[in-house]
Structure 1
Amino acid sequence: MSTPPLKTRERLSEVRYEIRGELARRARELEAQGRTLVKLNIGNPGAFGFRAPEHLQRAIADHIHGTDPYTHQQGLPEAREAIAAHHARRGTPDASPDRVFVGNGVSELIDISLRALLNPGDEVLVPSPDYPLWSAATILNDGRPVFYRCHAGNGFLPDPDEIEALVSQRTRALVLINPNNPTGAAYPRALLERVVAIAAKHNLLLLCDEIYDGIVYDDAVFEPLAPLAGDVPCVSFGGLSKVHRACGWRVGWAVVSGDRARSADFRHAMDLLGALRLCANVPGQFAIEAALDGVDTITPLCQPGGRLYEARRAVIEACAASAHLSLNAPAGALYAFPGVVGDAAKGFDDHGFALEMLETEDVLLVPGNSFNVPYRNHFRVTLLPQPEQLRDVFARIDRVLSRRAQANGKVVPIAASKHGRARPAA
C-alpha cells in the first residue's frame, strides 16, 4: 500500500510568481545543456556586473568583529537612527528609531506587515500590474488582494476614483509601488495626495513600496508618500538592494509613520513578529548609515551617459523602431513593460511568447500576466544589461514578432541587423 503524498497549503495554488517560476526552471535546464542565456527576468544588479559601492563594503568590513551576536529584533540602534534621520530629512512626520524595522530585505517586511494587519477575509487594494509578492503575501496571510487597474493609456497611473470604488467594509490597506515595478511609472504628487485622502476617509493603512526611490530618469521626480500622509498611518519600505546594488545582503527597512495612537497596536504586532524571527542579517546593517549618509552613487547611473540611462535609452529606441511594440517610457525603477501591437498581437499569448524567446532566442523574459493583469500582450525586461546587449535582445524579439505578424497574414520584410539577427525593415 503506497503512502499518500504530503499535503501542502491549499492557498499556495492561488500564488503566482513567474519571475522565478516555470520559465526560470526551464532556463536552468537549458543552461545545464550548455546554452548561454540572457536572463532579463530579475532586477539583480550584481548578476550584470554592478557592485555595491566600496564605502558600503568597507563599513561592513570595519565592523565585522561586531556581527556575531543577535541584535534587537527591530535592528541595530545606529542603523535605525540613520534610517529615521533620512526619513526626517525628506519630511516624514515623527520619524524616530522606535518606528523603524530592519528586515531581511523588503520582501520579509512586506510579509511581516501584512501578517501583523490582516485577519481572514480582510482585503488589500493592490495595483494591477503589481509586483506579485504583494498579492502573494496577502493571500498567504489569509487576506484577499483586490486589484485596481493602472492602464497603459494613462501612463500606468491609477485612477483614484476607481480605487475608492473598490473599498469595502473588509478593506484594510492600500498598496502603492513608487517608482513602479514592473512599469517604471513615477507617481505625481497630486495623485498621491488623492490616494492619501482615500486612505484617510476609509481608515486604511498605506503601504508604500519605495525600494526604487533613488532611481528616476529625465525630469521624473520621486515623491515620498509619508510626508503627504501626515497623520494617516503609513508604512514606507526601502532598502539597499536596488539603489545601492546590494541585493544579496538582504537589507531592507520599514518606517511606520502617522498618528502614534492609531498605529500603536500595529507597531507592537510587527515588533512581536520580528522577535519571533530573532533579528535580521546583522553584517549588512552596518552599511545602512554609510549608504544613507555617504556619497550618492546612483544618480550618475540614471543621468545621460550613465549605464542605466543608456540601457533605458536603448530599450526606448528599439521599441520606437519596431512595428510590433509600444512602450510607456519608464520614468523610474529598473524595468520596461512593452506591449505587443498590430498583427503580431493577434492571438498573442505572453507566456507562449516568453517560452519561444527562451527556446529559440536564448532570452528569458517575464510574461506580463505574471504581474496580475487581465491582458496577455505585455512582457517585462530589466534595464540592467549593457545597452548594446539590450539592442541585440530587442532585435531577437523583433525577429520572433515578425514571424508572428507574417503568420497572421501581414508580410513584414526582414532585414539583417548588424548583430547578425533579423529585424523588421524600416
Structure 2
Amino acid sequence: MKIFEKSRKLDNVCYDVRGPVVEEADRMIEQGIAIMKLNIGNPAPFGLKAPDNIIHNMKANLNHAEGYSDSKGIHAAREAILKYCIKKEIPNVKLHHIYTGNGVSELITMSMQALLDDGDEILIPAPDYPLWTAAATLAGGNVVHYICDEQADWYPDIDDMRRKITDKTKAIVIINPNNPTGALYPREVLEEIADLARENGLIIFADEIYDRLVMDGQEHVSIASLTPDLMVVTFNGLSKSHMIAGFRAGWMCLSGDKSRAKGYIEGLNMLSSMRLCSNVPAQYIIQTALDNLQNTDEILLPGGRIYEQREYITNRLNSIPGITAVKPKAAFYIFPKIDTKRYQIEDDEKFVLDFLKEQHVLMVHGKGFHWEKPDHFRIVYLPSVEDLKLAMDKFELFLNGYKGTNAC
C-alpha cells in the first residue's frame, strides 16, 4: 500500500507558536481542563474588541463585497494605504505598488516565492517570527539567522549581519517593532542596516505590523523612509492595532528604487493574480481604520491596559530568581531569559510542556523562534493584570519545584 508522507520541503520548517505544545494544550482542553493561553497574540479572547465603527463599516459594505476585487485590492483601500505611506514618509510608492492580503502572512509567503530560487540566501533575525523562516525555506531559500543582542535592547547585531552576507544573499528581513522581543529599533540602527543593504545591493523586507502599538512616547521610524535609493518591501495591517486578527486585513507596499526589480515585481503580480484577490469585506474597512488611528492610543498610555500589563509582567518576571527580561517598547510580547543551570533545563520545549501539564498555562519556548539556546521563552501579555498575576504565581510555584531532568 502506498504511504503518503508529508513533503520533504517541510523538513526544516517549524511553527511552534502552534506546534506540539499547543497540540497537547488542545488535548487537555478536550478533556475539560481550562488552559490560560499566553502563546499567541490574539486580542479578542482577552476582551480587546474591535472599534464599533470598524464593525459597522464592514456590515454596511457587505453587499458591495460579494464578488472578486482587483487582485491587488479595491481602489479605496489602496488609496488609504498610500496616504498612510505618505504619512510614514515612505517614498516612491504608487497605487500599483500596493497589494492587500489575507493578513501579512499571505503576503510574506508571496514575497518569498517571487524572489527566492533554490540556494539563494536571506538574512532573518534570531529570534524570529517563525513564519518568515518557514516561508523562505518553502520557497527554496537558505535562511541565515543574524543575532539580535539582548544586552543592547534586542537590537540587531550589525557586525553579525555583515559577517553573514555572501554573494548568494538577496535580502535582509527586519521585524520592527519586533516579535517576539517587543524591541523598537531607533533610527541609528535602521541607518546601519540600510548601509549594509546599500553596500551589498540587497532588498529590505520590513515587517512593521506593530508600528501603531508603541509605548513610552517613542516614535516608530519606517526603514523605507530612510532608503529612497533601495528597494524596500514594507508589510503592515490592522490585525493587532485594531484588534481584528480574525479579519485578516494586511498589505505590503513596494518603495524606493525598483529599477533592478522588474522581474521580481512581475513575479509578485503573477502570484497576486493567481490567488484572485484578498478578503474583500476586510478590504472595505481599511480606509475607515486608517482614518481613525487614535483607536489604540489610550491602551498604550500610562493607566491604559496594554501599558499597565507591560509594566506588571516586566517587573514580576525580573523579581523571580533566575529570570531576567528586557522591557518591551512595543507590541505585546516579552522574551525573558531563564537561568538553565539553576533550573536544570536542557530542553526548552520540554520545560514549557511540563509547565503546561502541571499548571495549565501555555507559553512558547525560544526554540520556536529559532533561538538556539534553551534559555528563553515568550509570553504574550494580553491577559488582564489579575490574570497575569495568577499565571506568574503558578510560574513561580512551578519553578520552585522544577528539576528539568526529573520532571514529568
What's the TM-score bracket when you normalise by the shorter of the two chains? over 0.9
Between 1 and 2, higher relative CO (CA 8 Å, sep ≥ 6) is seen in 2
The answer for the alignment partner of 1:61 in structure 2 is 59
Please give the per-residue CA displacement for 1:289-343, whole angstroms capped at 9, x wherever unaligned: 0111125111211111111111111101211221121000111111011111275
The answer for the alignment partner of 1:157 in structure 2 is 155
Find the residue that maps to 1:176 and give its secondary structure. strand
1:271 aligns with 2:284: no
The answer for the alignment partner of 1:356 in structure 2 is 354
Shift of 1:260: 3.1
The answer for the alignment partner of 2:232 in structure 1 is 234
Alignment of 1:208-223 (within 5 A): 208-223=206-221
Q: Is the 8 A contact 2:351 2:404 kept in 1?
A: no
AA partner of residue 90 (structure 1): K
Find the residue that maps to 2:354 and give its secondary structure. helix
Quote the RMSD (CA, aligned, Å).
1.5
Mapped to 2, the partners of 1:383 and 1:197 lie a distance apart of 35
1:142 aligns with 2:140: yes
TM-score by length of 1: 0.93
Please give the per-residue CA displacement for 1:162-206, whole angstroms capped at 9, x wherever unaligned: 211111111011000001000011001001001011111111110
1:396 aligns with 2:362: no
User: 1:342/1:8 Cα in 2 relative to 1: closer, same or farther (>3 Å)?
Assistant: closer
Shift of 1:93: 0.5
Structure 1 segments of 4 or more deviating over 6 A? 405-408
- The percent identity for this pair of structures is 36
The match for 1:193 among 191, 194, 217 is 191
Mapped to 1, the partners of 2:315 and 2:325 lie a distance apart of 10
Please give the per-residue CA displacement for 1:236-277, whole angstroms capped at 9, x wherever unaligned: 100011111111111110010011322332222111101001
Find the residue that maps to 1:14 and give its secondary structure. coil
Higher deviation after alignment, 220-229 or 99-108: 220-229
The answer for the alignment partner of 2:167 in structure 1 is 169
The alignment of Structure 1 onto Structure 2 pairs a total of residues equal to: 406
Mapped to 2, the partners of 1:253 and 1:285 lie a distance apart of 10
User: 1:65/1:201 Cα in 2 relative to 1: closer, same or farther (>3 Å)?
Assistant: same
Mapped to 2, the partners of 1:99 and 1:214 lie a distance apart of 22
Please give the per-residue CA displacement for 1:47-106, whole angstroms capped at 9, x wherever unaligned: 211111111112111211110110011011110011011101110112221110001100
Find the residue that maps to 2:265 and give its secondary structure. helix
Alignment of 1:240-389 (within 5 A): 240-341=238-339, 344-389=342-387
The answer for the alignment partner of 1:422 in structure 2 is none
- Any gaps of 5 or more consecutive residues in structure 2? none
Mapped to 2, the partners of 1:86 and 1:113 lie a distance apart of 21
Mapped to 2, the partners of 1:382 and 1:331 lie a distance apart of 14
- Any gaps of 5 or more consecutive residues in structure 1? 409-426
Find the residue that maps to 2:11 and give its secondary structure. helix
The answer for the alignment partner of 1:413 in structure 2 is none
Mapped to 2, the partners of 1:277 and 1:325 lie a distance apart of 46
Please give the per-residue CA displacement for 1:348-397, whole angstroms capped at 9, x wherever unaligned: 43111111111010100100111001110111010110011111111111
Mapped to 2, the partners of 1:263 and 1:302 lie a distance apart of 38
User: 1:399/1:290 Cα in 2 relative to 1: closer, same or farther (>3 Å)?
Assistant: same
Find the residue that maps to 2:205 and give its secondary structure. strand
Q: Is the 8 A contact 1:81 1:96 kept in 2?
A: no
Mapped to 2, the partners of 1:323 and 1:405 lie a distance apart of 15
